[in-house]
Amino acid sequence: CLQVAELKSKLDSAERFLGTLEKERLDQTRVTCIHRQKEKESLNGELHELKIENNLLKEKNALMNHKKQQYECEIKRLNKALQDALRMDCSPSLEDCLGKSEVECSREEMQTEMEVLKQQVQIYEEDFKKERSDRERLNQEKEELQQIIQTSQSQLNRLNSQNINCKHAKIKCNKFIKQYLFELYITCGPNGDGDSSYHLLSLPP
C-alpha cells in the first residue's frame, strides 16, 4: 500500500541518517581514544623519568649522609685532640719537651682545620636539606601524574562503556524497526492491497 511505501522511504532516510550519526560518533570516539592513549603514554614516560631521577636523588642523599657522618666523626676526633692539647698546654712538661711555640702552632692548626671541617659539614647539611626538599617535590609531582593517569584511564573506560551502550541501543532500535515493519507487512501485504513485492528493510545488526 502507499502508506507502507511512504513509511519505508522514511525509514530508509532515518536509517541513513542514523548510520551517518553512528559513523560520526565512532570517528569521534576513535580520535578521542587515540588522543587519550597518546596522553597516557606521554604521562607514563614522564613518570618513568621521575622515578629514575628519584632513585638518583636517593643515592645522592645516601652518599651525602655517609660524608656527613665521616665529617662528624672527624670533628669529634679533632675536638678531642684539641682538648688533649689544651690539657697538655697547661703542663710544664709539654713546653719542656716541645717548646711553647710548637704547642701554640699545633693548637692553631687544629683549630683552623676544625673550623674548615665545620664549614664543610654545614655546606653538606644545606645540600642535604635541598636534596630532601627536591625529593619531596618530585614525590608530589609523581603522585599528581599518577592521579592524571588514573583519571585518563577512567575516561577511557567511560568512553568504552558509552560505545558499548550505544551499540546495544542501536541493536534494540533495529529490532524494534524490523518488528514494526513485519507487523505492517502482515497488515498491508498480500492480505491488504495485494502488494506482496514488499520486503523487510535490511538493517545492520
Kindly report, residue by residue over 68-108, the tens digit of the pLDDT.
Answer: 788 778 777 777 776 776 676 555 554 454 455 555 566 67
C-beta of residue 114 within 8 angstroms of C-beta of residue 78: yes
202: number of Cβ within 10 Å? 7
Look-up: residue for cell 719537651? Answer: 97
Output the pTM of the full model.
Answer: 0.40
DSSP 170-195: HHHHHHHHHHHHHHHHHHHIIIIIS-
**2-193 is classed CATH 1.10.1240.10:** no
The mean of the pLDDT values for the chain is 71
pLDDT tens across 6-46, in order? 778 877 887 888 888 888 888 888 888 888 888 878 877 88
What ranges do the domains of the chain cover? 2-193
Q: How far apart are CA 152 and CA 168, in angstroms?
A: 25
